[in-house]
Amino acid sequence: MRFPHILMFIMIVLGAIAGSTLATITYLNGRQSALNAQIVSPQSWENNSFSKDLNLQKIANYQHNKTTLASNNPLSSKIDFTQFRQSFLSAVKRRDETFIRALVTSQTQSNFGKSLTLENANIEDKNSPFWQQIEKAVSTGCTLEVTTRVTKQETENEIWVCPKTFGKSIYDSDWQNQVAIISDKVNIRAEAKTNSPIIGLLSKELVQFDSETYQNLSEAERELVNQFDGWTPVILKNGKKGWVQNQFVYYQNRDYRISFARFNGQWGLRYLLAGNPN
C-alpha cells in the first residue's frame, strides 16, 4: 500500500474514534441533565426520600406558622384572659367597631335568653356612650367566675365577668339601695363638683345609694346624674350625704355588666347587660 493511502486510512480511523467519543460525551451530559432536572422537579418529590424529608419540613414549618398566627390573634383561646383583656381595652380606646362585632357569637346574649344585637348601641359613632361604658366596666378588672355551670360545648370552661367583684358579689347586692365603688381611694364630695370639699374616701366597697336625693332632682338633673361623666348621690356609714363621680361607681340600674368566655377556639362575648336609668 502506498504511503498516501496509508495516511488517508489513518485519518479516517482517527475521525471515527473522535466522533464516537464526542457522541458518548454528549449522551452522558444529556442524561446527567435529565437526572438533575428530575431531582429538582416537584413531580419527583414523592419518589425521592430526601425530597420527602424536605416536604415534611415544609409542612412542619407551615403548621408552626399557623399556630403562631393563631396565638397572635387577640381573640384566640391560646391567648390568656389578661392578654385578651388588654387587646379588648386597646380596641375600645381606638373605637374599633370591627373588633367588638367579632366578639359576638350565636351564644352571646344582651339579656338572659335573648341574642345580642349591637344596632341600638350605636357603636359606629365613636362618641357613643357605649364606648365609655364598656371601657369603664373592663378597665378596673374582671373576676373569674367559678360557679356558673355550662356545657363543654358552650365554652371551654373559663368565664370572666366585669367589672371585678370584691367580697360579696356586687351583682348580688340590693341595687335599689346600694352602689359599688370599683376603684381605690375614691373621693366622696359634699357636692357634685370636683372642687367641692371631700367628706370621705372609699375603696372597692358597697355604699348606700341616696335614693331620696335622687328622687328630689328634676328630670333634667336625673339625666345628668346618669351620664358617664355625672355624679351619683350616696350616704356614708356615718350618715353624711355626698357625691361620687360615676366613672368610679358601678350601679346595676345604669351601668354595663360584661361576661367573656372561650367558644370554639376563640374569645367571645357571653353576655352584655346594659342597665336602664332610674
- pLDDT tens-digit readout, 97-142: 999 999 988 888 887 666 777 777 788 999 998 999 999 999 988 9
Longest dimension (CA), the chain: 144
User: Across residues 20-42, what is the average pLDDT?
Assistant: 44
Decide if pLDDT at 42 tops 50.
no
Q: Residue 228's pLDDT is what?
A: 86
Q: Where are the domains of the chain?
A: 3-70, 81-274
* Amino acid at position 152, single letter: K
pLDDT for 70: 44
Residue with the bigger pLDDT between 179 and 51: it is 179
Strands 186-189 and 104-111: unpaired
Which comes out higher in pLDDT, residue 221 or 61?
Answer: 221
Mean pLDDT of the chain: 75
Greater confidence, 278 or 253? Answer: 253
All three cell numbers of 233: 348621690
The pLDDT-based confidence of 59 (bands split at 50, 70, 90) is very low
Sole residue written with cell 381611694: 185
Given a cut of 80, is residue 9 above it in pLDDT?
no
- What is the value of pTM for the model shown? 0.65
At residue 240, the pLDDT reads 96
Least confident of 37-41, 87-91, 94-98, 244-248: 37-41
Q: Which pLDDT value is given to residue 169?
A: 63
| 148 touches 260 (CB < 8 A) | no
Q: CA 230, CA 223: separation in Å to the nearest integer?
A: 9
Average pLDDT estimate for 191-203: 95
Q: What is the structure's pLDDT at 237?
A: 93
Domain 81-274, CATH homologous superfamily name and number: SH3 Domains (2.30.30.40)
Residue carrying the nine cell digits 371551654: 156
Q: What is the pLDDT of residue 122?
A: 84
